[in-house]
Structure 1
Amino acid sequence: MLTQLLQVGPMNTPRLAACLVLPLSLLPLGSCSSAVTAASSTTSTGNSTTSTTNTYAAAYQAVTWASGVTVAFTSNCSMTVTSSGIPPFHNTYYLTPATGSQTVVATTASGIQLAVAAYATSGISTVNKVSATFNICPTKATSTTATSNGPIGIMTSGEAIFDPYEATGVVAMADNASYTFTSGGVSYTASFIDQCNSHAAGGMGANSGSTWHYHAVPTCWTTTVDGATGPSHIIGIALDGFPIYGGRDVNGSIVDPTTLDACNGITSATPEFPSGAYHYVLPITSSGAAITTKQSSLTCYAGTVNSTVVATMKKFGCNMPFLLADGNARLPDGREVTRAEAAAWLTDMKKQMAGMQMATDKMMPDDMPHHNAMHHSSE
C-alpha cells in the first residue's frame, strides 16, 4: 500500500514557499515479461528484444551504487532501489524560494525570489527516503510518453532525477541564480541549483522533508564514476527501466545532443553494452558542464510505462507557488496571482492531497504488482 503522505510544513499553515509532494501511488508503470527467466543473452522467448532486455538486467546487477543505497533483485526482471535520499555532495548554504518573512537576496531570470537557507538547519537536510521498484527488462513502446514535473528516475548516487523544468514551467538549468556573502569572516556562495546540478524540492522549514534531485547530469557524481574524461557508465535508471548515462560515449568523446532522439535516447555502444543498446544521455558542453536547455534531462519516456500512472504523476511534482519580484506569486500552472490567492490555492491543494490519499488507498488492492513504482517516506 502507499507509504505515508509527505508533508512540507504544518498542514494547517499555508506557506507560499513550501513544495507539496503529493503521494506517489504504487500503481504499475510497466510490467516485466514473465517469459524472461535469466539474465542471459541466450534466452529466447520469441520477442526480438529479449536478448537486449536480458543484457539490461545483467548490466544493472553489475552497477555500483553509492553508500546509503541498497538494491535488491526480487526477480530476474525486477530491481528495488532504496536510498536514504541524502545527497553525497552538498553546499553549506543554498538559495530557496522565499517565504513572505524571509529576506530576498536574489531573483531568477523568470522572476522567482530567493532567500538564503543553511543546509544543516533550514529543513533541506531533512531528506525523504526514496524507494522504487523497476522493470529491468525494458522494451521500447510504439510511442513515447511525456515525463512529468517530479521524479522520473533514480540515479546511482541515490537521488531522484526530475525532468528539465521547474514547477513554473521554465527550464531549471536556465533559471539559476547565486548570491555571495560573508558569515563569520568566511565567504560563501549560495545557489538555487548547486555545482552538481541538484537542489531540494521542499524542506523550507521545521518538520518538513525535502526530496533532493537533479535537473541535469550530476557532474560531481560522474567525475567520481567516470573520471574527468572517461567514457560514461550507467548513472541511473528511468521509470521505464532504460539506463541513464552521462554525456560521453564509449570512447570518452562528448555525445552530440543533436544525435539523440526526442527523449534524449540513443542506441550505441557503452562500457556495459559494447555491442550497443538503447539508453538515455544527459548531455554536456565541450567544457564538461551540463547543458542549460530542455535537453538537460528527459522530457519523455521511450519505453513502456503505464499511461494512467504517468498522468497521475504529473501531480507529483513540486506544486508550490513562487513569490515574484512584482509582489505577486506564480502558480505551477503558470498563472500569476496575488499572494493571498496563492495562499488560498495552497490550502485547497492540501485538502486535495488528503482526498487523493484516501481515494488511492481504496483503489489499491494489497496484491497489486508494484512494477516501476516510485514512492517516498519521510523518516
Structure 2
Amino acid sequence: MSAELTGSYSIVDSVTGTQIDVTVTGDRRIIRANGLPNHQRGSFPNANNPHSVSAQTYEFQLPLHGTRAGRTTQLVLPQPFGIATNGVLFDPLAAEWYRRDPASGWTIEAIGPSATLGLDDNNAHVQPTGAYHYHGLPTAMAIQQGAERHSPLLGWAGDGFPIYAGFGYIDPMDPTSGITELSSSYRLRSGVRPDGPGGAYDGTYTEDFEFVAGHGMLDLANGRQGVTPEYPDGTYYYVLTDTFPFIPRHFVGTIADSFRRSGRRDGPR
C-alpha cells in the first residue's frame, strides 16, 4: 500500500479505532485524523505514564511537495515534527529537564538510559490531553524483510517532506545501487558534562549529543536528498533512526501554518 499513500486514502479500523482521511487536492495534502494507531499499543496509564489514550481531532494542510528554506528551523516545545500515515504524531521532544528546571540547560531524552516515561514497544506514550504520540521509530510501521528493501514511507513532516525509516539506497540517486542502513551524523560527546548533572555524557540528555557532518549518511535534520520508491524523480526526505536523534529535530522547509504549535507544555509526557 506504500505507493498509494502519496495520494488520497482513508483508514478506518473498527478494532483499533483508527480513523484517518487524507485528501490530495492541487498542491495540498489535507489530513484529518483521530490520532489512534492502527497497531497494538501499550497499556496506558502505566507506572510511568499516568494518562489514558483518547481520540483527537487533527486537521492539517501540508504542502504536497516540500520546498527547502534558506536555513533549517530547530524544533522547540511544543512543536511536533510530523504525522504518520496512520494519523499519529511524531513528537520527539519531552517536557522533562534536569531538576525539573527548563532553564537548567539539560533536557532529558525520552529514549535514553535514564528515561522513565512509560514508552511502549513503538516508542510511544500519551500526553495529558490523551494524545498517543511517537518519540522514536514506531516498530510496527517500519517492519521490512531484512535490509534488502527500501524502508516504507512512514509519514510527512510539518513542512510537507516525506519521512522514512532507516534503510535507503547506497547511492541516494541510484535505486540500483543496493540498500544500506542510513546512519545519523550525531554522536555522543566525549568526556564529562561541565555543569548541571555532571557525570559522563551517556545519552540521558539531548545536550549529550553533537552533530558531526559526515560522521554518518544523514545531515543536521537527519535527512538527505535522493530517490525513493514513491519519489522516483527525487525529493528531500527525513529518516527515523534507532539512534539519536531518533526523530529529526530540525525542519529544512517552512512549517505549514496548520501544523505550527507554540506556547507552553509542561509535565510528564
TM over 0.5: yes
Counterparts of 1:195-344 in structure 2, within 5 Å, are 195-202=121-128, 209-223=129-143, 226-227=144-145, 229=147, 230-250=149-169, 251-257=178-184, 258-283=216-241, 290-291=242-243, 293=244, 295-305=245-255, 313-315=261-263, 318-320=265-267
State which of 68, 71, 74 in structure 1 corresponds to 2:22: 71
- State the Cα deviation string for residues 285-310 of structure 1 (Å, max 9, x = none): xxxxx22x3x1112110012379x85
Task: Give ranges in structure 2 of 5+ residues lacking alignment.
Answer: 14-18, 98-106, 170-177, 185-215
Does structure 2 retain, via aligned residues, the 8 Å contact 1:161–1:215? yes
Residue equivalent to 1:89: 40
TM-score (norm 1): 0.49
Tell whether 2:30 aligns with 1:80.
yes
Does structure 2 retain, via aligned residues, the 8 Å contact 1:148–1:163? no
Q: Indicate the RMSD between aligned Cα atoms, in angstroms.
A: 3.0
Residue equivalent to 1:149: 77
Report 1 or 2 for greater relative contact order, CA contacts < 8 Å, sequence distance ≥ 6.
1
- Structure 1 residues 263 and 77 mapped into 2: Cα distance closer, same or farther (>3 Å)? same
Percentage of matched positions with identical amino acids: 22
Does structure 1 retain, via aligned residues, the 8 Å contact 2:44–2:52? no
- Structure 1 residues 149 and 131 mapped into 2: Cα distance closer, same or farther (>3 Å)? same
Residue equivalent to 2:196: none
Counterparts of 1:176-187 in structure 2, within 5 Å, are 176-177=115-116
CA distance in structure 1 between the aligned counterparts of 2:12 and 2:75, rounded to whole angstroms: 25
What is the deviation of 1:228? 5.0
Does structure 2 retain, via aligned residues, the 8 Å contact 1:266–1:279? yes
TM-score (norm 2): 0.68
Letter in 2 for 1:254: E
Does structure 1 retain, via aligned residues, the 8 Å contact 2:9–2:23? no
What is the deviation of 1:218? 1.0
- Structure 1 residues 164 and 72 mapped into 2: Cα distance closer, same or farther (>3 Å)? same
The alignment partner of 2:7 has SS state of helix
CA distance in structure 1 between the aligned counterparts of 2:54 and 2:10, rounded to whole angstroms: 25
Aligned residues: 210
State which of 39, 55, 63 in structure 2 corresponds to 1:135: 63
Letter in 2 for 1:70: D
The alignment partner of 1:315 has SS state of coil
The alignment partner of 1:259 has SS state of coil
Letter in 1 for 2:151: S
CA distance in structure 2 between the aligned counterparts of 1:60 and 1:222, rounded to whole angstroms: 17
CA distance in structure 1 between the aligned counterparts of 2:119 and 2:70, rounded to whole angstroms: 35
Greater share of residues in helix:
1
